[in-house]
Structure 1
Amino acid sequence: MNHYDVAIIGAGMAGASVASEIGGERSVLLLEAEDHPGYHATGRSAAFWTESYGGPLVQPLTSASRAFLENPPARFSSTGFLRPRGAVNIARADQTHLADQFLTDFADNELDLARWSWAQAASLMPGLKTQWTQVVYEPDCCDIDVAALHAAYLKDARRKGVALLCRAPVSQIRKVDGGWELVAGGEAHRAGQLVNAAGAWADNVARMAGVEPVGIQPLIRTMVQIETDPPSTQDMPLVVGLDGSFYFKPEAGGTYWLSPHDEIPAEPGDVAPDELSVAVAIDRFEKVLDVRVKRVVRKWAGLRSFAPDRLPVIGFDSVTEDYFWFAGQGGFGIQTAPATSKLARSLLLGEPRDDSLQMIDASLYAASRFAAET
């Protein structure tokens, strides 16, 4: 039986980033149930980074991640992971309150937001229909190279001696003297600390370990790639409905990626898009831009997972020692990965926080916030 200081369950962006942060400081086992890491949520991301996404309580984590994503350490990556895009947050003429509330929500967060006219938005989005007069422009929005970031975390973890095991679903977890014993992929392992980075499976892993779940709910998010006439252009922004009913962005080959921003409760698993969600996505897109949809290029779905308050869960369980939650990262887990993994490192290693985290209120994300409810 192999012994490790820390075993991390899940090798998506969450698990890979934590492994990268604590590898070299501790002996680490990184377990992945699938044939390769990032098959579920990480590999199906819409791939944008925008500070307003997730709301004002998530925004500090996004902002704290920016410097790393733009200019990572040379040994981590020779290039950054962000490419400027810009975002246009829009609402109809009868929805002025949504634009007002959006600006109010972020008034104290020092985001670069500007109230725009329809004409200003239309200059970036030819074909914008005239009813979309409520516009808030977010110039700092970027595309994020999700695959490259995930690969860099995994490579860095390997360089630091982290042992990655794929095709190793965890079938048993039990508390033993000095830590945990796990059976994964038919093999037994021991670890002093257990990190639950299992995404949509986080509560299932908790139950297996005899830990009280915190209420992580997997939700289906549908994505559609379409070809239009006229085609998209790469200088177009991300477009987000302020009512939370859609977003879309230009993609390679003159296509668009779009989503109806759906959140359909589901059991953890390999989900697929349903035709109604695809039709809703296209209908909402056609209500925004005066373009003709020629065909659906492809469609897919992924799982986002949220805690009841829709904030990430980062920290030791309030009852079970040596059990660390790193879950509930919703749709913002990728854009916040540098900050959340550094926060996890400081807690796991018992060391001072990185300078980039000094303005972060870690209590907002602590697993102990659910103690009274359980």
Structure 2
Amino acid sequence: MTSPDIIVIGGGIAGVSLGYELADDHSVLLLERESTLAFHTTGRSAALFLETYGNLPIRALTTASRSFLENPPFDAELLSPRSLLEFARPGRSDDLRAFYDEISALTPSAEFLTEPEARELFPLLREGYAESAIYEPGSMEVDVHALHQGYVRGLRSRSAEIRTTSGIVGLTRTENEWTVTLADGSTVAAPIVVNAAGAWADSIAESAGVPTIGLQPMRRTIFMVGAPDDVDTSRWPTVSDIDEAFYIKPEGAQFLCSPADETPTPPSDARPDELEIARALDEINDATTLNARHVRTSWAGLRSFVADRTPVVGFDPEADGFFWCAGQGGYGIQTCAALARVGAALVRQQPIPADVSARGLEVEHLEVGRLR
């Protein structure tokens, strides 16, 4: 492919999902700097679909993504049940109630629970630690690998080209197209460049001479501990507190845990923070009777945010043909289906899809200009 309509930079979930939607009526070339796709953030996700998570634009995108994830256009089972229990410590029930009132419009299945009701759902929760809770019965686990690979197969079925080990060293705008120079000295060109480079999106903008958006990657650590012997946790919910000091998700004979840390970090191959793991273990052992002492394995990923913690999707008003799809934070997996449709509509100069706008999402929430 020597002259595609669109070059997509980044092979994580943002790039492959938007590329898939665009490849329906455009020729697409996707470039990935690593030797494999989804090497960084996408491949290290905690894989949750939570309709009550994030601000209003995030919740709108998440709820609008459910139907795609339930019935994808490729052969894969993407979702499995994993409810969510979010609790408030003593003195925080009023804040939790206010949050419940806020989310109920888009997630009417959510329930406000007392402490005994919460402990019925997650028996390890220590008595007296939680004052109240929100239960989200419709939250799910996502098979991230199947989702990403489904989009990759879909891209190829639509005749898109995918190139790995294709780091970018420069982008220049000449007449009506962008010329992208790769690390091996070769070049490719297209009228539109989509910047879906995750934590490196601002670096790509700098290479193109485009003003940055203040993107800040944040490290998020995850670790595994053993579950109690002879206890079936398969129907237990993921547990978090309203202040996001930690979360716990049952995974067979183990629990996936996180300190829910957000440590500002340069774009990099993130490594787990041992001090945050130790803090989270203390928090988890205070909140539950798990008494975890040994960490079986750990890893980390990057969640990249702009100032208002809402994705940046749209053409840059200061650079013709330069399209942003960045700043998904920790919501990229659960919002990708709707966000890709929104992004494709904006590339085509069309309105946001009606089912997404009906949930309260507006172009102004996503456009680049709000940050400058």
TM-score range, shorter chain: over 0.9
Deviation at 1:107, TM superposition (A): 4.4
Deviation at 1:98, TM superposition (A): 2.7
Report the counterpart of residue 138 of structure 1 in structure 2.
136
Report the counterpart of residue 92 of structure 2 in structure 1.
95
Report the counterpart of residue 193 of structure 2 in structure 1.
194
Conserved in 2, the CA contact under 8 Å of 1:23 and 1:162?
Answer: yes
Report the counterpart of residue 126 of structure 2 in structure 1.
129
Report the counterpart of residue 210 of structure 1 in structure 2.
209
Deviation at 1:80, TM superposition (A): 3.6
Conserved in 1, the CA contact under 8 Å of 2:76 and 2:146?
Answer: no
Which residue type is aligned with residue 101 of structure 2?
Answer: T
After TM superposition, list the pairs within 5 Å mapping 1:5-84 onto structure 2.
5-73=5-73, 77-84=74-81
**In the alignment, does 2:219 pair up with 1:226?**
no
Conserved in 2, the CA contact under 8 Å of 1:227 and 1:294?
Answer: no
Task: Supply the distance in 2 between the matched residues of 1:369 and 1:294 (Cα, whole angstroms).
Answer: 46
Alignment CA distance shift 1:45-1:365 (3 Å): same
**In the alignment, does 2:136 pair up with 1:152?**
no
Deviation at 1:40, TM superposition (A): 0.5
Report the counterpart of residue 284 of structure 2 in structure 1.
285
Task: Supply the distance in 2 between the matched residues of 1:358 and 1:216 (Cα, whole angstroms).
Answer: 25
Conserved in 2, the CA contact under 8 Å of 1:229 and 1:294?
Answer: no
Task: Supply the distance in 2 between the matched residues of 1:325 and 1:189 (Cα, whole angstroms).
Answer: 19
Report the counterpart of residue 161 of structure 1 in structure 2.
159
Task: Supply the distance in 1 between the matched residues of 2:33 and 2:76 (Cα, whole angstroms).
Answer: 30
Deviation at 1:353, TM superposition (A): 4.5
Which 5+ residue runs of structure 2 have no aligned equivalent?
A: none
Task: Supply the distance in 1 between the matched residues of 2:189 and 2:92 (Cα, whole angstroms).
Answer: 56
Task: Supply the distance in 1 between the matched residues of 2:17 and 2:84 (Cα, whole angstroms).
Answer: 27
Cα deviation code 1:188-224 (max 9, x no counterpart)? 1111101000110011111110100011100000001
Deviates more, 1:51-60 or 1:205-214: 51-60
**In the alignment, does 2:339 pair up with 1:361?**
no
Task: Supply the distance in 2 between the matched residues of 1:127 and 1:271 (Cα, whole angstroms).
Answer: 31
Which residue type is aligned with residue 217 of structure 1?
Answer: Q
* SS in structure 2 of the partner of residue 335 of structure 1: helix
Which 5+ residue runs of structure 1 have no aligned equivalent?
A: none
* SS in structure 1 of the partner of residue 288 of structure 2: coil
Aligned residues: 367
Deviation at 1:336, TM superposition (A): 0.4
Deviates more, 1:127-136 or 1:39-48: 127-136
Task: Supply the distance in 1 between the matched residues of 2:319 and 2:69 (Cα, whole angstroms).
Answer: 34
Task: Supply the distance in 2 between the matched residues of 1:336 and 1:95 (Cα, whole angstroms).
Answer: 29
Deviation at 1:294, TM superposition (A): 5.1
Deviation at 1:63, TM superposition (A): 0.4
* SS in structure 1 of the partner of residue 304 of structure 2: strand
Question: What is the root-mean-square deviation of aligned Cα atoms in Å?
Answer: 1.6
Deviation at 1:7, TM superposition (A): 0.6
Conserved in 2, the CA contact under 8 Å of 1:224 and 1:281?
Answer: no
Task: Supply the distance in 1 between the matched residues of 2:179 and 2:56 (Cα, whole angstroms).
Answer: 39
